[in-house]
Amino acid sequence: MKFLLVILSIFLISCSDKQKNELSAEFIIAGIAILTNSNHVSVMQAEQEISLETERFGPYLVAKLKWQPNLIYQIRDGSRIIEVQSPLSPSPLKVTEIILDDLKQNPEGNFPDADVALSTDNSLVAVGTFYGFIQVFSLTENKLLWKKKIAEGMVKKCLFSADSKQLYVGEQSIESNIYAFNAVNGELIWQKNLSDDIGSAPPAKGDNPYFMYSYPGIFHMQLDRQDLIVTAVHSWRLDGKSMKKSKLYSFKPNGQINWQFPQKDALNANIKYFDISDSYLVFNIDGFDSREINGAVKENSMNLIDLRTGALLDSKSVPVFSPHFNSIFFWQNVSITKDESYAAMAALDGRIFMFPIKNRTFENPVVRSPDEAIKVNDIPLSAGIPYTETVSNRLLISLTETSIPYTYSSVNKVYEPPALHPMSGHLQAFNKSGELIWDYYDRSIYSAVSASTDSKWLMAVVDDKKINRQIGYFGFTLFEADSSDFLRKVYRYQTASPVFFRGAISGNGL
């Protein structure tokens, strides 16, 4: 069996397990986590009772306070009293483990996809798996609420509604369905089949489960106030040619469509990811397929959408990074700041493009680009940027593991980098002018970075990269934003085996 550790961002695995009938406490970022069945405890310091707000997470009652290091606190639960001394830094604390799929059918050496979401009220966690199961776990009651198989494919994305009453689930399957379930009991509320727009796919041939990556699927979802924004993507090969279709949708909570982009036929390119602000949606696309480019969206471009109407406001192309690259590839590397002053995207060739927004259009971008490819033994190396995020209106990027540009490797038959790129594994932040303001490196290769909606906390995930396997480190690192160094490492949590490249962090960092 495989276990996914679902962790509220202030909580990580503690040093020891406690008996349920034992009163104990751990100092965490948000306050003191008290192991008790009671919802009424008192906390005292220097013989003075402290007035506290409390919140329950599974077996723990969290008393929220800004504790000071090296002080003695008294905790009373009925007739039980303990004294605890606060440490210099927060203690990691595990909330729960959730058992996922039986991986006996999983090809050896591969780690299947999964997706995880936290409800906006922090009470529920949903997990979708590679084998098509979705389950919802109550963090307050510390129990599984429901689990069901929904797809002959994988659960690609899951997301709770703004009021935490619905769970939206997107699959990658023959039909590319999106579902809305009652978050508490799993009852189906509505369902949409998006393969009518982006095309269906034939069933898999043989027993290779990874054939499903050629199926249409829901690649990303975000909430726009009460509404749901979705991108549906389909990539496949036909007669040796690359084929692509994708489309954006805005759904009301009842499943009605507010708008879709393009309004008619799907785009023959992949909108793999997007980001939104109060007014705009931004997405980037790389190459179109072999068919003629349709509509106003340009190739290798950053695009600006009116979030209220779905209308395209601007599309700006960027050039290929010659001579070692003959194309551009984007992944989940497009972001917009909350103040809507600029949008940014990055590429796997190591470049960053920051587009100021003025009068509902893009101005010319600020570009950060390597002067030329790093070379070792005359072999060019690159450290791509597949993930971006904005924190406090600053751009954060994750530089991934070293690779050789395809143009060079395909011609010279050299596929394994002879050395690490000097920037591989760095996390960096830039201000609006494109100036580097923060650089972090700890020998790991990070993947996705996720910020809390209050921009105070950032989680960076360490997944199944070659270097991570060599040093035996997987898990994630938590950072606190807006400190004097912009991002201060709070702690890192290590798992025994690789995690998926994305995690989830609650809106307020809990």
Q: Which residue has the tokens 């394994």?
A: 416
CA distance 65 to 55: 12
Q: b/e per residue, 332-355, with b = 16+ CB within 10 A?
A: bbbbbbeeeebbbbbbbbbbbbbb
What is the tally of structural domains in the chain?
Answer: 3
Do 78 and 26 sit in the same domain of this protein? yes
Do 321 and 430 sit in the same domain of this protein? yes
Give the tokens for residue 228. Answer: 């749901």
Work out the pLDDT band at 293, boundaries 50, 70, 90: low
Do 400 and 465 sit in the same domain of this protein? no
Do 340 and 379 sit in the same domain of this protein? yes
CA distance 149 to 486: 43
Work out the pLDDT band at 92, boundaries 50, 70, 90: low
Residues 2-37 pLDDT 10s: 333 343 333 432 333 344 457 889 898 888 999 988
Would you state the pLDDT for residue 5?
37
Q: Which class for 508: exposed (0-12), middle (13-18), buried (19 or more C-beta within 10 A)? A: middle
Do 483 and 432 sit in the same domain of this protein? no
Work out the pLDDT band at 106, boundaries 50, 70, 90: low
CA distance 451 to 466: 25
Averaged pLDDT, 291-320: 90
Q: Which residues pair with 50 in a beta bridge?
A: 43
Would you state the pLDDT for residue 427?
94
Ranked by mean pLDDT, which of 266-270, 489-493, 503-507 comes out on top? 266-270
Work out the pLDDT band at 204, boundaries 50, 70, 90: low
CA distance 333 to 448: 9
Backbone torsions φ then ψ of 178, nearest 5 degrees: -120, 135
Residues 370-423 pLDDT 10s: 766 788 888 888 888 999 999 888 999 999 878 888 778 888 888 888 888 888
End of a domain among 441, 463, 496? 441
Backbone torsions φ then ψ of 410, nearest 5 degrees: -70, -35
Query: Would 42 be classed as within a structural domain?
Result: yes
Q: What letter does residue 212 receive in the DSSP assignment?
A: G
Would you state the pLDDT for residue 12?
34
Contacts within 8 Å (CB) and 24+ apart, 435-440 = 437/394, 437/486, 438/485, 438/486, 438/487, 440/479, 440/487, 440/489
Do 370 and 478 sit in the same domain of this protein? no
Query: Would 430 be classed as within a structural domain?
Result: yes
Give the tokens for residue 133. Answer: 């199961």
Residues 333-364 pLDDT 10s: 999 999 999 999 999 889 999 999 999 999 99
Do 320 and 426 sit in the same domain of this protein? yes
HSE-CB of 35 using CA atoms within 13 angstroms: 16
Query: Would 79 be classed as within a structural domain?
Result: yes
Segment holding 77, helix H or strand E: strand 72-77
CA distance 65 to 61: 13
Backbone torsions φ then ψ of 412, nearest 5 degrees: -95, 0
Please determine, for residue 192, whether its predicted confidence score (pLDDT) is greater than 90: yes
Query: Would 286 be classed as within a structural domain?
Result: no
* Count helices and strands in the chain by DSSP H and E runs: 3, 42
For the chain, first and last CA: distance in Å?
A: 28
Please determine, for residue 1, whether its predicted confidence score (pLDDT) is greater than 60: no
Averaged pLDDT, 281-292: 84
Least confident of 16-30, 141-155, 478-492: 16-30
CA distance 343 to 322: 24
Biggest CA–CA distance in the chain, Å, is 78
Averaged pLDDT, 42-59: 86
Please answer whether residues 446 and 425 qualify as being in contact, where contact means their C-beta atoms are separated by less than 8 angstroms: yes
Q: Alpha helix locations (H) across 17-65?
A: none
Would you state the pLDDT for residue 405?
82
Query: Would 35 be classed as within a structural domain?
Result: yes
Segment holding 500, helix H or strand E: none
Q: Which residue has the tokens 């972001």?
A: 335
For all residues of the chain together, what is the average pLDDT?
85
Would you state the pLDDT for residue 7?
38
Would you state the pLDDT for residue 158?
96
End of a domain among 425, 441, 457? 441
Work out the pLDDT band at 483, boundaries 50, 70, 90: low
Please determine, for residue 310, whether its predicted confidence score (pLDDT) is greater than 90: yes
Please determine, for residue 94, whether its predicted confidence score (pLDDT) is greater than 80: no
Averaged pLDDT, 172-200: 94
CA distance 344 to 353: 6
**Host domain of residue 479:** 449-510
pTM: 0.88
Do 371 and 478 sit in the same domain of this protein? no
Please determine, for residue 470, whether its predicted confidence score (pLDDT) is greater than 70: no
Please answer whether residues 304 and 357 qualify as being in contact, where contact means their C-beta atoms are separated by less than 8 angstroms: yes
CA distance 229 to 245: 17
The closest of 314, 420, 307, 437 to 374, measured between CA atoms, is 420
470 Cβ partners below 8 Å, 6+ apart? none
The closest of 63, 78, 70, 71 to 29, measured between CA atoms, is 63
Residue 425 CA to chain centroid, in angstroms?
Answer: 17
Segment holding 112, helix H or strand E: none
Query: Would 290 be classed as within a structural domain?
Result: no
Do 457 and 424 sit in the same domain of this protein? no
Averaged pLDDT, 438-464: 86
CA distance 393 to 452: 13
Averaged pLDDT, 447-471: 79
Query: Would 169 be classed as within a structural domain?
Result: no
Do 71 and 46 sit in the same domain of this protein? yes
Averaged pLDDT, 189-198: 94
Query: Would 380 be classed as within a structural domain?
Result: yes
Please determine, for residue 167, whether its predicted confidence score (pLDDT) is greater than 90: yes
Please answer whether residues 311 and 318 qualify as being in contact, where contact means their C-beta atoms are separated by less than 8 angstroms: no
Would you state the pLDDT for residue 428?
94
Averaged pLDDT, 168-196: 95
Least confident of 16-20, 175-179, 202-206: 16-20
Would you state the pLDDT for residue 488?
87
Averaged pLDDT, 488-500: 78
Do 404 and 386 sit in the same domain of this protein? yes
Q: Which residue has the tokens 């397929």?
A: 289
Do 332 and 394 sit in the same domain of this protein? yes
End of a domain among 418, 441, 464? 441
